[in-house]
Amino acid sequence: MSQTLNADLCIIGGGSGGLSVAAGAAQMGAEVVLIEKAKMGGDCLNYGCVPSKSIIAAGHAADAMRRGGRFGIKSMEPEVDFPAVRDHIRSVIAAIEPHDSVERFEGLGVKVLKDAAVFTGPREVKAGDINVRAKRFVIATGSSAAVPPIPGIQDVPFLTNETVFELAERPEHLIVIGGGPIGSELAQAHRRLGARVTLLEMFRVLGKDDPEVTEFARKRLSEDGVTIREGIKIASVSAAGGHVAVEIEEEGQKETVTGSHILVAAGRSANVEGLGLEAAGVTYSPKGIDVDARLRTSNKRIFAIGDVAGGLQFTHVAGYHAGIVIRNALFRLPAKASHDFVPWVTFTDPEIAHVGLTEAQARESLGDDVKVLRWSFEENDRAQAERETEGLIKVVVGKRGKILGASIGGPRAGELLQPWVLALSQGLKIGAMANAIAPYPTLSEVGKRVAGSYYTDALFGERTRKIVRFLLKFG
């Protein structure tokens, strides 16, 4: 027999966004039901951020052995135990799992239902034999790897981020379809772990970031031995004697790339199917659920957050959305989400990090009222000591020193980005960054140095020299 639960808040999806809402709301006194049909922790913990950064770390360790000669340490080719690498990935996930577990959330007072959720009306969801009626709902079902309509792709075995981390053996030759962040990160990691890798991209590898900044990562990918094919069209995919064959077309010429495995990393699709959104009166498309600035759907009692809301697909965006929803759903505050200063990082080596406007975007909107500041990692003493000098920080500044955006391509770029995120979100001007004291010797000095370069012409120009010479006449 069916059972009915009544709740203040019902959340569909136990990924990072849904869990953040559930934990916050429950601890604030709300009656919360959380419905998750698969693994708690969602894509980020099980198939995305956590396993990908774990395999990247393994690749870093292998690369360090090959490049020890830079420090007077004998370089050597590492012996990679690929099943042990898989165990490393699993152990990292296992270490984090308790924070996202059913037990933890039930301990917080959340009622967790392990089943698929389907709306049966505008204020009711069915999960197995249980009906849930709630005052407010939050859809946080995330996204999945998109599979492009390539002829033959469905007829051959292929990997996505949901399956690539479970490989028991190292791929002999991994063909990666898609040269965005996910494809580039996993291409480099697998190459460093000893696999042959070919990276296929229809447009330009890492094309969404500033090309001046991404060039360092693109160069390192090639140096690592990743074969990059850009500006190509994938005509078809087929089986070839126990392998897979990808027919590509470039400038009218066709050729075939044969490999042992294919990894599809060509974008993400919002998880909107099977939710019964029509019954709930929720408007959506294959790109995601339509939401307003308060993250409300066309049914104002239902919110959508994270990847399924069709915007920027980052775990930290889902976490930010969670706070907006709590303010709206629990406190009835008209909180609105702003995505003006959302940072992102691509975890290639070197990393690529960005927030705000790129140079191209700034010039398109402001024309000549833009000043571009650059500072090379070659001029940083810590980078020299660590033999990691390939990199650049690039800051775009508008009138009266207003910071418009920052892009970093270099070692630990993701860690170096946070001061610029703070500066943009708080409306700080370039002088605030230039006047801050950076500890020496750290990579963080590149931020202070690039900010200080804004004043170089004024401080060391002829006008200043004349003023100094005049003042020195008086003793």
| Those residues with Cβ within 8 angstroms of residue 467's Cβ, 6 or more apart along the chain or in another chain | none
SS3 205: coil
- Residue range 177-196: mean pLDDT, rounded: 97
Please state which of the ranges 257-271, 272-286, 345-359, 448-462 shows the lowest mean pLDDT.
Answer: 448-462
- Round to whole Å and give the CA distance between 318 and 324: 10
Binned at pLDDT 50, 70 and 90, residue 1 comes out as low
- Using only C-alpha atoms, what is the Rg of the chain? 25
List binding-site positions for FAD: 53, 141-143, 307
pLDDT more than 90, % of the chain = 93
pLDDT reported for residue 471: 87
- Residue range 22-27: mean pLDDT, rounded: 97
Please state which of the ranges 2-6, 261-265, 402-406 shows the lowest mean pLDDT.
Answer: 2-6
CATH architecture of the domain covering 153-266? 3-Layer(bba) Sandwich (3.50)
- Residue range 293-305: mean pLDDT, rounded: 98
Please state which of the ranges 275-279, 361-365, 370-374, 458-462 shows the lowest mean pLDDT.
Answer: 458-462
pLDDT (tens digit per residue) in 38-70: 999 999 999 999 999 999 999 999 999 999 999
CATH architecture of the domain covering 3-144+269-329? 3-Layer(bba) Sandwich (3.50)
pLDDT reported for residue 120: 97
Global confidence as pTM: 0.94
Comparing C-alpha atoms, which of 36, 33, 61 is closest to residue 46? 36
pLDDT reported for residue 251: 87
How far is the first Cα of the chain from the last one, in angstroms, to the nearest whole number? 96
pLDDT more than 70, % of the chain = 100
- Asked if 3-144+269-329 and 153-266 have one fold, the answer is yes
- Round to whole Å and give the CA distance between 227 and 244: 17
Binned at pLDDT 50, 70 and 90, residue 242 comes out as confident
List binding-site positions: 53, 141-143, 178-185, 201, 267, 307
Q: Which CATH superfamily is domain 350-459 in?
A: FAD/NAD-linked reductase, C-terminal dimerisation domain (3.30.390.30)
- Round to whole Å and give the CA distance between 257 and 255: 7
- Residue range 187-195: mean pLDDT, rounded: 98
- Residue range 72-95: mean pLDDT, rounded: 97
Residue 236 φ/ψ region, left for φ over 0, alpha for ψ in the -120 to 50 degree band, beta for the rest: beta
- Residue range 15-27: mean pLDDT, rounded: 97
Q: Which residues pair with 355 in a beta bridge?
A: 406
**Parallel/antiparallel/unpaired status of strands 111-113 and 32-35:** parallel
Give residue limits of the domains in the chain: 3-144+269-329, 153-266, 350-459
List binding-site positions for NAD(+): 178-185, 201, 267
Q: Is residue 165's pLDDT more than 70?
A: yes
pLDDT (tens digit per residue) in 219-229: 999 999 999 99
**Residue 443 DSSP class:** T
